[in-house]
Structure 1
Amino acid sequence: MSILNQENMSSEEIHDLLDAIPDGNLSELSDFSEEDDDELLNLCNVCATDKSQNVDSDSNQEDFSNAISANVTIAVSRNNPSTSDALDVAQMTNAASSSGIINSKSGSNRPSKHAQKWKFRKVDFEAPDTSWDSYIAPPPSNIHSPLMYFKTFITDDIIKEISKQSNIYAHQKDGEILNSTVAEIEQLLGILLHTWIVKMASTKMYWSTECRYPPIADIMSRSRFQKLMKYFHIVDNNNQKASTDPEHDKLFKVRPLLQHFFKVYNSVDEQMVPFKGRSPMKQYARNKPNKWGFKIFMRAGASGIMYDFRPYIGKGTCADFGLGFSGDVVMALCESLAPELALKQKGILCVGTIRQDRMGHCPLATEKQLKEKGRSSKDSRYAAVEPESTCKRWNVAEKKSIDVAQPFVVKEYNKFMGGVYKADKLLELYRIDIRSRKWYMRLVYWCLGVAVVNSWLIYKRHQEQLGKKADYSLVQFQAEISTGLTRSGKDQEKEEGQIPATSHLLGRR
């Protein structure tokens, strides 16, 4: 039975049903949790009652359960002029029902969620100016220490708040007097960063007799470390709304830290924070290296520096722009860009991939036809196939690398699409992986990792601007940050000739 062939559905119920259907016309970010499908089916069951008029579904309604693996690389615009037979995408028109069966409530500001139709026509293409007037701040006269770069993101204010809220939580939960200080919280963060540089099978082993590791064990006792981890808190639980409250925030436990990062932080993609514990926000992504965890939508530059992000919490992840979930996420992540139909109205042109079944009947060659033509075959309705270049690809039959034609649009896409992948790779290299009963600690670890990676990338940029070679690799940079944090509140002076405890990590003697 068709989902929309339910009986006795009011206009409001129809709108709710349409709201549950994701719109994937614009992006590859449309494959989300199966919870969305469950929500859709549950809504249909509620709407089904006795006899009434039927609402007919569009005959071209897409099957959201089938994943199409074939992607078609597209782009919106480019400087190169088009040939006369290039196809231009006209504005989208809403497929409003002529029968008047589906009507929005009078006075409602609800954006239209009806199916959209694309019209294609042959026009002379005039390429817009796609130059990006970017600004990169000049480097400081003197390069700061790794710890100073790190504290650009994890500031003293947020560390003070963690210390304060941890003390409050200890008293609320167990009547414990924790008496944590800012210096102790900094030492705790330093230990966390250090544990992923020097890994052991169990956290307790850093303090064990057989495997004792002085750079950690000498900072604080194991019992104190465990107590600080037990009561680690960022916000007052007394301010949390009940789960039945419309203003309930699923990310309440880490909201202050996330808001802080929003203030201090351009490609858009998703990232998984590994997590297999219990949480209503846990997602499964079968095509990701970390299949279980928290889903994070990110905006990152080609350098890998992360500028903005949104954790996926289901409904309420971002504001409703009327573009479907995928489009809404992209718009939300681009709100912090200078503003100038969606991204184009803001002066932001884009290049990306789109699923083949979301092309809106664009008259491109089929996958079968392209395969018959062989490797590097293409069909384009995009102005910038020229200038064509070549790239190396491995040929299985000849067992060697061969030159294949590469359209300019593909070259442009490959140039900028890897920002999030690069950031994800760097985060995975030295990611904190200490187990905790608190689900939100995974997001805390992720934020610490983002702060380290962003700090290192900005440090490298400053070195390049000054015409110098970076002195620290990422692991050395993280080790310096860890050392600086663990020495907080301790005597900074060292005896002459004494070798730092972490010198072996930095490759120095």
Structure 2
Amino acid sequence: MAECGRKALSLLEAARSRYESLQISDDVFGESGDDSSDNPFYSTSGDSDSDNYIAEVGEEEHQPQHHHHHHQKRGDKESGGAGGGNSGAGPPGTLSRSQAEDEGWTEALQDVTVPPYKETYGPAQKMSATATALDFFQLFVPDNCIHNMVTQTNMYAKKFQERFGSDEGWRPVTAQEMKAFLGFVTSTSVHRCESVLSIWSSGFFSNRSIALKMSQARFEKILKYFHIVAFRPSQGSNQGLYKIQPFLDSLQQSFSCTFRPSQTQVLHEPLIDEDPVFITTCTERELRKRKKRKFSLWVRQCTSTGFICQISVHLKEGQGTDGLATLKNKPQLHSLVAKQLCQNISGKNTIIFTGPSITSLSLFTEFSKQDIFCCGLLSTRKSDCTGLPQSMLVCGSTPAQRGQSRVMMKGTMSLISWYNKGHFRFLTNAYSPTKQGLIIKRKSGEIPCPLAVEAFAAHLSYICKYDDKYSKYFIFHKPNKTWQQVFWLSISIAINNAYILYKMSDAYTVKRYSRAQFGERLVRELLDLDDCSPTQ
């Protein structure tokens, strides 16, 4: 028994050592308390499921019925069924053995080195130890942004009443009221309720501690006329998002000015607008009844902290029920999204991790010319496999051993096929194929793999844990209008980013607020309540 304990401890120490060598910081986004030192990938806590990120998808080939819906969705989204694939002809655009040799693909491996990162990493400005939650939030949503909401809301109310008749209960909104309005809606991220209007009810979801700050009737009037842009512009490249685009542009600028991400970043479509409790407990019928989003949100995210550096929003194409799914399966769209998300990081020697829908030889080659290095998971179903050797993308007739891998190179680009209860394929020019890594699991011990596989698994699992933790703090208010859905989702991202900056500041050493306490304090400061201390 003691021997087993010593072995588990040595595995844990080895895991932590390797994890730190990949330059992932200690759970910056986590809660205060005992679990804030949990290892997001190697799972030092018993209730973490993030360490199953790589193995889980491979196991889906054999045990699909054992996984909850949200795990299947994550596997589909990031891994894209990479563990699948039958022997036979490869995907369209792949090369035969002779064609691959002619194109320069070889099994002779050479060392690859990524130049040093050309950016410093961390917050761009120092916040004082007395900075409040509102101070951090207003790094992204400053007073001038709120004043613009006031102006546009009043303009829209005037235009609406000129067309449809006067509203005797309406009076122009003020900046203080707009802050309170934001506070009421934001409160649904820390106090879940059926509707934001439940705050004023007498039922279970009421919140009397803040309800007296504004009447329900006044809140509903502001909600009715709330706008970011009151009038449609005469021209613009993104007409469908014209009501929210100025705010998104401002938010993006503030993200860039307040934080410098680490060298390693990930491009992905996060599961950040789903209620994790609903997803794990709902029935198939409830899922079918749930309204599908009319937009797709992609982000570039720092894998060392979870800070979302850039967002890209695309409206659903077409009016069919499967429109969003159709949009998600377009590699050309995802390539465009990736280029948009990376347009500000060229020349810095950044390493980006990508899921199957983005990973492609042509995109990675284009990025390499901009000093952007890549490591992506490949799927024969979802990836653009043009120009890749067919022999690396089909399963051989000989059973593979766990941890076994094959590699082919073209210049500095490596195509890796690695087996772990299923075949996983990676394309990278960010990690040397000659260097080995380890996947360290508590139950099965050490699983050998190329270094690129270990890096991908560690960084992506860290982001998965970010999604798991932060999805429960997203604003629960679900308006019908698409631009408002995008707005409140963006506000949620801004609050999460604000908390990351708070945890990296001197203010956190004074009062170590958890994410829930930080959100509660922000609500009270937006409402300008005298006692802004969060409840325990």
The TM-score range, normalised by the shorter chain, is 0.5 to 0.7
What is the aligned counterpart of 2:338 among 325, 330, 351? 330
CA distance in 2, matches of 1:311, 1:259: 11
2:291 is the alignment partner of 1:264: no
Q: 1:121, CA displacement in angstroms? A: 3.9
Query: What's the TM-score once normalised by structure 2's chain length?
Result: 0.59
CA contact (8 A) 1:306 1:423 kept: no
Query: What's the TM-score once normalised by structure 1's chain length?
Result: 0.62
List per-residue Cα deviations over 1:9-37 (Å, max 9, x = no partner). xxxxxxxxxxxxxxxxxxxxxxxxxxxxx
CA contact (8 A) 1:271 1:424 kept: yes
What is the aligned counterpart of 1:354 among 378, 386, 390? 378
CA contact (8 A) 2:129 2:510 kept: no
Rg (Cα) greater in structure: 1
2:356 is the alignment partner of 1:364: no
CA distance in 2, matches of 1:168, 1:362: 60
What is the aligned counterpart of 2:512 among 436, 454, 471? 471
Q: How does 1:22-101 map to 2 (within 5 A)?
A: 69-70=81-82
CA distance in 2, matches of 1:172, 1:134: 48
CA distance in 1, matches of 2:110, 2:511: 45
**AA aligned opposite 2:512:** D
Q: 1:342, CA displacement in angstroms? A: 1.4
List per-residue Cα deviations over 1:421-472 (Å, max 9, x = no partner). 4553344112222243422211111111011100011111225xx9948701
CA distance in 1, matches of 2:155, 2:512: 41
Describe the shift of the 1:143–1:343 C-alpha distance in structure 2 as closer, same or farther (beyond 3 A). Answer: farther
CA contact (8 A) 2:269 2:297 kept: yes
Q: 1:208, CA displacement in angstroms? A: 2.6
What is the aligned counterpart of 1:125 among 106, 110, 116? 110
Match of 2:296 in 1: 295
**AA aligned opposite 1:474:** R
CA contact (8 A) 1:299 1:420 kept: no
What is the aligned counterpart of 2:240 among 226, 230, 250? 250
Match of 1:214 in 2: 208
Describe the shift of the 1:233–1:141 C-alpha distance in structure 2 as closer, same or farther (beyond 3 A). Answer: closer
2:403 is the alignment partner of 1:413: no
List per-residue Cα deviations over 1:236-279 (Å, max 9, x = no partner). 225366xxxx856100111111111121112111135659xxxx
Match of 1:429 in 2: 472
Describe the shift of the 1:127–1:452 C-alpha distance in structure 2 as closer, same or farther (beyond 3 A). Answer: same
What is the aligned counterpart of 2:156 among 169, 173, 191? 169
Q: Which moved more, 1:265-274 or 1:161-170?
A: 265-274
CA contact (8 A) 2:113 2:432 kept: no
CA distance in 1, matches of 2:511, 2:405: 41
Describe the shift of the 1:426–1:295 C-alpha distance in structure 2 as closer, same or farther (beyond 3 A). Answer: farther
CA contact (8 A) 1:70 1:356 kept: yes
CA distance in 2, matches of 1:298, 1:207: 35
Match of 1:318 in 2: none
Q: 1:193, CA displacement in angstroms? A: 1.3
CA distance in 1, matches of 2:493, 2:220: 24
Per residue, is there more helix in 1 or in 2? Answer: 2
Describe the shift of the 1:306–1:161 C-alpha distance in structure 2 as closer, same or farther (beyond 3 A). Answer: same
List per-residue Cα deviations over 1:373-395 (Å, max 9, x = no partner). 2322221234734543433447x
**Secondary structure, counterpart of 1:239 in structure 2:** coil
CA contact (8 A) 2:82 2:380 kept: yes
List per-residue Cα deviations over 1:217-253 (Å, max 9, x = no partner). 1110000011111111011225366xxxx85610011
Describe the shift of the 1:118–1:144 C-alpha distance in structure 2 as closer, same or farther (beyond 3 A). Answer: farther
**AA aligned opposite 1:457:** I
Match of 1:344 in 2: 368
List per-residue Cα deviations over 1:143-170 (Å, max 9, x = no partner). 5211100000011111001111111111
Q: How does 1:132-143 map to 2 (within 5 A)?
A: 132-136=117-121, 137=124, 139-140=126-127, 142=129
**Secondary structure, counterpart of 1:353 in structure 2:** strand
**Secondary structure, counterpart of 2:243 in structure 1:** helix
**AA aligned opposite 2:307:** I
Describe the shift of the 1:130–1:272 C-alpha distance in structure 2 as closer, same or farther (beyond 3 A). Answer: same
CA distance in 2, matches of 1:228, 1:376: 59
Structure with more contact order per residue of length (Cα contacts < 8 Å, sep ≥ 6): 2
Aligned length: 358
Describe the shift of the 1:147–1:344 C-alpha distance in structure 2 as closer, same or farther (beyond 3 A). Answer: same
Match of 2:522 in 1: 481
Give the fraction of aligned pairs with identical amino acids, expressed as a percent: 19
List per-residue Cα deviations over 1:277-321 (Å, max 9, x = no partner). xxxxxxxxxx9xx99322111100011101111101368xxxxxx
CA contact (8 A) 2:296 2:313 kept: yes
CA distance in 1, matches of 2:228, 2:499: 25
2:220 is the alignment partner of 1:226: yes
Match of 2:400 in 1: 373
Describe the shift of the 1:138–1:223 C-alpha distance in structure 2 as closer, same or farther (beyond 3 A). Answer: closer
CA contact (8 A) 2:146 2:175 kept: yes
What is the aligned counterpart of 1:189 among 161, 164, 182? 182
Match of 2:436 in 1: 388
Root-mean-square deviation (Å): 3.6
CA distance in 2, matches of 1:368, 1:68: 20
Match of 1:20 in 2: none
Describe the shift of the 1:348–1:450 C-alpha distance in structure 2 as closer, same or farther (beyond 3 A). Answer: same
**Secondary structure, counterpart of 1:201 in structure 2:** coil
